[in-house]
Amino acid sequence: MARAKAQIPPAAIVAGKPTVAIVGRPNVGKSTLFNRLVGGRRAIVEDVAGTTRDRLYGEARLGRLAFRVIDTGGLEPAAAEGYPALIRLQVEVAVAEADAIVFLVDADTGLTSADEEVSQLLRERSDKPVVLVANKADNATRREATAEFHRLALGEAIAISAYHDMGLADLGDRLESLLPEVAEEEAPGALRLAIVGRPNVGKSALVNAILGQERVLVSAEPGTTRDAVDTELEYEGQSLVLIDTAGIRRRGKVGRGVEKYSVMRAQEALERADVGLLVLDASEGVAAQDLHIAGYVADAYKGLIVVINKWDLMEDTQEEREEFAEDVLGRLKFAPWAPLAFVSAKTGLNVDGLIELALEVGEVRSQRVATAGLNTLVQKTIAAHRPSGKGKRVPRIRYATQTSISPPTFVFFVNDASLIHFSYRRYLENAIRKQFGFEGTAIRLVFRSRDEE
Ligand code: GDP
Ligand code: GDP
């Protein structure tokens, strides 16, 4: 498998800090506040496609609090759509990405109808905490005047002056009370591998081969379902859990329903797993049921490795492997990203390699792509081939962001999600994979439309 991870420059991977988004109509001082919060930490200047500013994101610090900040004022909807679209886009991005939203108003000009619009949108769209902040409260008179923002029904505004660096400690205190506690570099949990496949392909032999080698067995206890067994082990300092469905068949008289039953069990095991190891028997090749299970893995957005077991029965040449791979991938059309591992549970051939591959897929699943790079790619991809519309309706993709990992999930903000054709989804997915890798795992693309134009 290609080292997908290495294709992303380190700066593109962002840490799991809480995120604060600044929203508000133009000229209230969003960018001034952003710069104040980010302070000297402005080492990276990114040219962000689809925005008016160099930087939308920054690492911020207020007192003890460290967080990521987003200046939504730099977002730029398609030119013709004007101001209401701008505000909506800001709010949508803020709601999707932030743990808390700073709604900035201007104590100099006072309350405007545009503020009311932002306030209403925030109420309609967001369940995130909103902090009302009145900027440009440079002196006592303006600080007193902030009382009128009460009418936005968001509580008392925190009066600040971003320009003169006043009131920011109050803002810090409020944010600290609202933001989730983020454990420093949270230790990732054990990677969960489900070993699935038809009866007799060698699942239990494989589990034994994995466990049999000189590894520390941490514990072996019954899984959460009575039918699958979870075994925790350590491989070169990394924790793994094997979810093993092998023993099932032997437990009851399953009889004729065995195939269907094992698919059901596989699904249960996969639900609790990060990566599915779909075991095939090299002497038999791919069966319909294997495709069924692989399809389930893809639909559940899990990682998938196709394990070609009993390779000791084959002639182990490059040519043979390539031929086999071609056959398997030709049938697994919906998961062209799944790597193959040629192993023998009997001789131990490549069993270590399989575990290393699984750990790699686990890492790929927790990879994060920076929003700036993602948007640059998306804009380029769209420019190369624009989505076709339905009649007069033309799909417009404004902004994309990776909202989560395991599975890697990308949200696209579009005018109307129903206009995005399946083939265009594929096209975007392929572009993301080409640039950022994600080999070995399904990725999720979500298209979110606005209610109205
Ligand atoms: P944005 O469009 O919301 O990002 O607003 P900007 O950050 O570009 O600021 C708009 C204008 O307000 C600029 O001329 C800033 O210098 C000014 N400004 C920002 N913060 C303050 C402040 O705290 N006090 C005063 N008096 N002016 C400010
Ligand atoms: P399961 O039903 O998928 O758990 O399959 P088992 O692990 O019980 O294996 C089924 C049969 O295949 C047994 O007779 C094993 O000895 C045999 N087997 C398993 N792995 C290998 C292998 O790598 N090479 C060979 N030649 N036989 C294997």
pLDDT of residue 352: 93
Mean pLDDT of 170-179: 88
DSSP string, 316-370: --HHHHHHHHHHHHHH-TT-TT--EEE--TTT-TTHHHHHHHHHHHHHHHT----
CA 276 – ligand 2 centroid, Å: 19
Mutate to test the pocket of ligand 1, among 22, 28, 30, 32 (most ligand atoms within 8 A of CB): 32
> Is the model's pLDDT at 213 over the cut of 80?
no
pLDDT digits (tens, 9 = 90+) for 133-161: 999 999 999 999 999 999 999 989 999 99
Residues above pLDDT 90, as percent of the chain? 44
Residue 275 near ligand 2, beta carbon < 6 Å? no
Specify the pLDDT at position 40.
55
Give the position, in ligand 2's atom list, of the atom nearest the Cα of 201.
Answer: 3
| 33 band by pLDDT with thresholds 50, 70 and 90 | very high
More reliable by pLDDT, 223 or 393: 393
Pick the residue with more confidence: 92 or 108? Answer: 108
Mean pLDDT of 251-270: 57
Nearest to 102 by CA among 39, 49, 179: 179
Detail the DSSP E strand segments found in 182-291: 191-196, 217-222, 229-235, 238-244, 275-281
On whether the pTM is more than 0.95, the answer is no
Backbone angles phi, psi at 402, to 5 degrees: -85, 115
- Answer with the residue of higher pLDDT: 232 or 422: 422
When mean pLDDT is compared across 38-42, 178-182, 320-324, 411-415, the lowest value belongs to 38-42
Least confident of 199-213, 251-265, 282-296, 385-399: 251-265
51 lines ligand 1 (CB under 6 A): no
High-pLDDT (> 70) share of the chain, %:
79
CA of 280 relative to ligand 2 center, distance in Å: 10
Between the CA of 334 and the centroid of ligand 2 the distance, in Å, is 28
pLDDT tens, position by position, 57-95 = 777 888 778 888 888 876 765 555 667 777 788 788 788
What one-character-per-residue DSSP string does 135-154 give? E---SHHHHHHGGGGGGGSS
Pick the residue with more confidence: 273 or 2? Answer: 273
Q: In 24-90, which ranges are E strands?
A: 57-62, 65-71
Question: Is residue 349's pLDDT more than 70?
Answer: yes
Sheet of strand 444-449, all strands in order from the earlier edge strand to the far edge: 397-404, 409-414, 444-449
**pLDDT at residue 43 in the model:** 36
Alpha carbons within 13 angstroms on the beta-carbon side of residue 320 total 12
Distance (Å) from CA 192 to ligand 2 centroid = 22
The 10s digit of each residue's pLDDT in 268-278 is 788 889 999 99
With residue 380 as reference, give the H or E element that holds it.
helix 371-384
Residue 40's SS3 state is: coil
Judge if the beta carbon of residue 136 lies within 6 A of ligand 1. yes
Tokens of 88: 């909506």
Q: Is the CB of 247 under 6 A from ligand 2?
A: no
Residue of 346, 349, 354 to test ligand 2 pocket, by largest number of atoms within 8 Å of CB = 346
Residue 166 CA, ligand 1 centroid: distance in Å: 13
